[in-house]
């Protein structure tokens, strides 16, 4: 009998890719999300899809998720987006008959907290940018005044996709919310890389690293080029080994010189790096790496932005594997625009950015 696996976060293109990958490996794939329209819901590789309350409605979310796990006798629960933190916090309420492919709540929060993670990495002798925890504007202004010619990065300790990342300098305006803690970080000029790994209690089962060929705004990569960088592999291996980590993990890294790599932040969940992998990532068998993948629909929609990179743009369009398009599973491809319009409506209704609205109902910001 095929193993039944339930994925959360069906809205993410990476989750759709993961669902198809698992289907090809013989798994029966189920999917949930807390919005009515999401990409993976329309895939013919999905056995059954569900809509749950927002994970921020913690008790109701966990109860309904548990009901699904019991009713459909799910063998493995694999969270993909930030609902991972809510599930980890209440994993003792999940049916014992289901394996939850995540680590403890304490480890996940350590990695998610942008300040605590950097201190943890430093203790492992991993290079990090000079960073301080700041609680108010006075502290920020103090550090800016100390180095008036330097550029800094300011971001909340809990954030994602660089939605609230600001590049600031002395004398320039910036935004600061008094009810949140921030990290003030030295700005590093260099080449940006990302990596993704899935691990089983300290053993890496599958791994990919890549550079951002194209981004939709700072921090949101939509074209991924494999790089196979040994320095980056060593960094993620050291972190996974130190924590005996179990689950999925992604890192953002900046290279400032041939041998100097600085880890910027960590995402203990599914990331776009999955889109450069093939094989059974749950068992770590028959793993293969792809060279290039992209969200081609977004690349085409944003084409005017890259007129000055037309040759590179054409190369990516012609040579990459599209993350969403699959000739044997077309509905998700055609649902991209209706789903985008749905998020545009929510963005206007809630008066927040389009990027932020895509995760607003699943964000973990410390509580």
Q: What is the pLDDT of residue 301?
A: 66
Helix (H) or strand (E) holding 251: strand 247-257
pLDDT digits (tens, 9 = 90+) for 234-287: 999 999 999 999 999 999 999 999 999 999 999 999 998 999 999 999 999 989
Low-confidence ranges of the chain (pLDDT < 70): 1, 213-219, 296-308
Query: What's the fold here for domain 130-186?
Result: Dna Ligase; domain 1 (3.30.1490)
pLDDT digits (tens, 9 = 90+) for 58-95: 999 999 999 999 999 999 999 999 999 999 999 999 99
Dihedral angle computed from the Cα positions of residues 146, 147, 153 and 154, in that order, rounded to the nearest 10 degrees: 20
Domain 1-102+330-367 shares a fold with domain 191-325: no
Which residues lie below 8 Å from residue 337, measured CB to CB, with a gap of 6+? Answer: 297
Q: Which CATH number fits domain 191-325: 3.30.470.20, 1.10.10.10, 3.40.50.2300, 3.30.70.260?
A: 3.30.470.20
Q: What is the pLDDT of residue 128?
A: 97
* DSSP-assigned letters across all residues of 38-101: -GGGG-TTEEEEEE---TTSHHHHHHHHHHHHHHTT-SEEE--STHHHHHHHTGGGS-TTSEE-
CATH number of this structure's domain 1-102+330-367: 3.40.50.20
Which residues lie below 8 Å from residue 230, measured CB to CB, with a gap of 6+? Answer: none
**Which phi and psi angles does 180 have, rounded to 5°?**
-135, 155
Cα→Cα distances 68→29, 30, 266, Å: 13, 10, 30
Q: Where are the alpha helices (DSSP H) in 156-207?
A: none
Q: What is the pLDDT of residue 32?
A: 98
Domain boundaries, the chain: 1-102+330-367, 130-186, 191-325
**Which phi and psi angles does 341 have, rounded to 5°?**
-65, -35
């Amino acid at each position: 009998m095929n193993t039944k696996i339930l994925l959360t976060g069906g809205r993410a293109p990476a989750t759709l890719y993961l669902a198809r990958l698992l289907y090809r490996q013989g798994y029966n794939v189920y999917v949930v999300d807390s919005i009515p329209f999401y990409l993976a819901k329309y895939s013919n590789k999905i056995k059954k899809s569900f809509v749950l309350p927002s994970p921020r409605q913690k008790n109701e979310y966990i109860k309904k998720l548990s009901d699904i796990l019991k009713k459909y006798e799910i063998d493995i629960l694999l969270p993909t987006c930030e609902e991972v933190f809510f599930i980890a916090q209440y994993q003792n309420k999940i049916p014992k008959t289901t394996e939850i492919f995540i680590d403890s709540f304490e480890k996940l929060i350590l990695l998610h907290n942008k300040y605590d993670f950097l201190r943890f990495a430093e203790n492992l002798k991993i290079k990090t940018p000079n960073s301080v925890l700041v609680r108010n504007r006075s502290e920020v202004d103090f550090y800016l005044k100390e180095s008036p010619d330097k550029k800094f990065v300011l971001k909340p300790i809990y954030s994602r996709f660089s939605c609230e990342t600001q590049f600031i300098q002395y004398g320039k305006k910036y935004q600061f919310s008094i009810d949140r803690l921030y990290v003030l970080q030295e700005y590093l000029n260099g080449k940006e890389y990302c990596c993704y790994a899935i691990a089983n209690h300290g053993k890496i089962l599958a791994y990919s690293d890549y550079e951002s060929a194209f981004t939709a705004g700072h921090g949101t990569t939509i074209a991924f080029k494999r790089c196979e960088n040994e320095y980056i592999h060593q960094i993620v291996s050291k972190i996974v080994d130190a924590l005996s980590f179990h689950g999925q993990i992604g890192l953002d890294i900046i290279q400032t010189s041939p041998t100097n790599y600085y880890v910027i932040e960590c995402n203990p969940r599914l990331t776009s790096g999955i889109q450069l992998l093939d094989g059974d990532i749950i068992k770590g068998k028959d793993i293969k790496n792809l060279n290039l993948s992209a969200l081609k629909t977004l690349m085409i929609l944003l084409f005017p932005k890259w007129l000055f990179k037309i040759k590179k743009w054409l190369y990516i369009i012609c040579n990459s594997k599209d993350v969403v398009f699959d000739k044997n599973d077309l509905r998700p491809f055609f649902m991209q625009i209706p789903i985008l319009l749905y998020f545009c409506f929510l963005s206007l209704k809630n008066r927040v950015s389009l990027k932020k609205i895509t995760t607003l109902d699943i964000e973990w910001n410390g509580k």
